[in-house]
């Protein structure tokens, strides 16, 4: 059964304003790179093209991640049923929603004006980065669909057949109707991966906010790296993880251009017990 049309339309409506905002700010980022290179005397050089290309690659990654984050918001509110075509349909929505034509145009204009500066235009191809970004989202979508299948199977089990399996450390297991217990919240690998993607989006978005008053980009990057480091541990310290990740969110919360990244981080931190405004 194909994805409900109402869900598809709502997903696109959620994505469109976020991508439109990125389109506006990415044009400013490209112009800022042009001016910086011109000031350094390398305004028509391979160095400029490389800088623009790197910015385009980061923007493509950020947009596909942002599009998937918006789609997940819709899916979380929808009573979704699994189908054989679900993963492909979700990936198509992300691919279409992450509109990248303007990113390619930014690079094409620079290539056209500096055709004699470079020997191989293939070095600045964006097809590969686009496919890699979509491959990452495809993996995210496959994880989502797998979790949905597991959830639906669990819901169909009769109540007396449910067995509690604990993988890894749990704060306590309550036995009996009056036994008190305190449980430590442990996130799963899909939650951790979603948080990593949100951190990637924060990092990719920071250059667009370079001139924002009150933003200490270097400190934000330090907090992003600390959060990644904690996530990479075999047994992350959940308290430290929440504190450091919340610090990233607090630092970017009031920066307009970073709102898409903030919203993605806000959603990714919910499974870790962090509720942000």
Under 8 Å between Cβ of 142 and 149: no
CB 126, CB 111: distance < 8 Å: no
79-97 as b/e, with b when 16 or more CB fall inside 10 Å?
A: ebeeeeebbebbbebbbeb
What would you report as the CA-atom Rg of the chain, rounded to the nearest whole angstrom? 22
User: According to the model, what pLDDT value does residue 254 have?
Assistant: 84
Q: Which among 1, 27, 5 is positioned nearest to 208, based on CA atoms?
A: 27
CA pseudo-torsion sign 240, 246, 250, 251: positive
Q: Which two structure tokens, joined as six digits, stand for 249?
A: 């969110």
Helices 189-205/238-252 angle, 10° precision: 30
Enter the pTM of the model.
0.58
Q: Is the dihedral of CA 141, 145, 148, 150 positive or negative?
A: negative
Predicted confidence pLDDT, tens digits, the chain (277 residues): 678 888 899 999 999 998 998 888 888 888 888 888 888 887 778 888 888 898 899 889 888 988 998 898 888 888 777 888 999 999 999 999 999 999 999 998 888 887 655 656 677 889 999 999 999 899 888 888 887 787 777 666 555 444 444 444 444 444 444 444 444 444 567 788 889 988 999 998 888 888 787 788 889 999 999 999 999 898 888 888 988 999 999 899 888 888 888 888 988 888 887 877 7
Q: What local confidence, expressed as pLDDT, does residue 176 receive?
A: 43
């Amino acid at each position: 059964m194909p994805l409900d049309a109402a869900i598809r339309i709502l997903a696109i409506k959620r994505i469109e304003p976020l991508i439109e905002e990125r389109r506006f700010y990415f044009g400013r980022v490209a112009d800022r790179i042009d001016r910086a290179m011109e000031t350094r005397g390398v305004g028509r050089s391979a160095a400029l093209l490389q800088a623009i290309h790197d910015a385009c690659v980061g923007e493509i990654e950020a947009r596909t991640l942002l599009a998937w984050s918006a789609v997940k918001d819709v899916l979380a509110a929808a009573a979704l049923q699994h189908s054989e075509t679900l993963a492909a349909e979700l990936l198509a929505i992300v691919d279409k929603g992450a509109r990248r034509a303007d990113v390619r145009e930014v690079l094409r204009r620079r290539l056209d004006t500096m055709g004699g500066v470079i020997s191989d235009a293939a070095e600045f191809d964006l097809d590969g980065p686009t496919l890699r970004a979509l491959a990452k989202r495809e993996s995210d979508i496959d994880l989502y669909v797998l979790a949905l299948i597991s959830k639906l199977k669990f819901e169909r089990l009769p109540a007396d057949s449910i067995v509690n399996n604990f993988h890894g450390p749990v704060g306590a297991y309550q036995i009996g109707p009056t036994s008190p217990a305190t449980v430590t919240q442990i996130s799963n690998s899909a939650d951790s991966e979603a948080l990593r993607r949100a951190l990637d989006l924060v990092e990719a978005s920071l250059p667009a906010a370079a001139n924002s008053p009150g933003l200490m980009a270097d400190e934000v990057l330090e907090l992003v790296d600390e959060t990644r480091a904690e996530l990479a541990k075999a047994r992350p310290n959940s308290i430290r993880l929440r504190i450091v990740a919340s610090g990233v969110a607090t630092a970017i919360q009031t920066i307009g251009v970073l709102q898409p990244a903030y919203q993605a981080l806000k959603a990714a931190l919910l499974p870790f017990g962090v509720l942000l405004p």
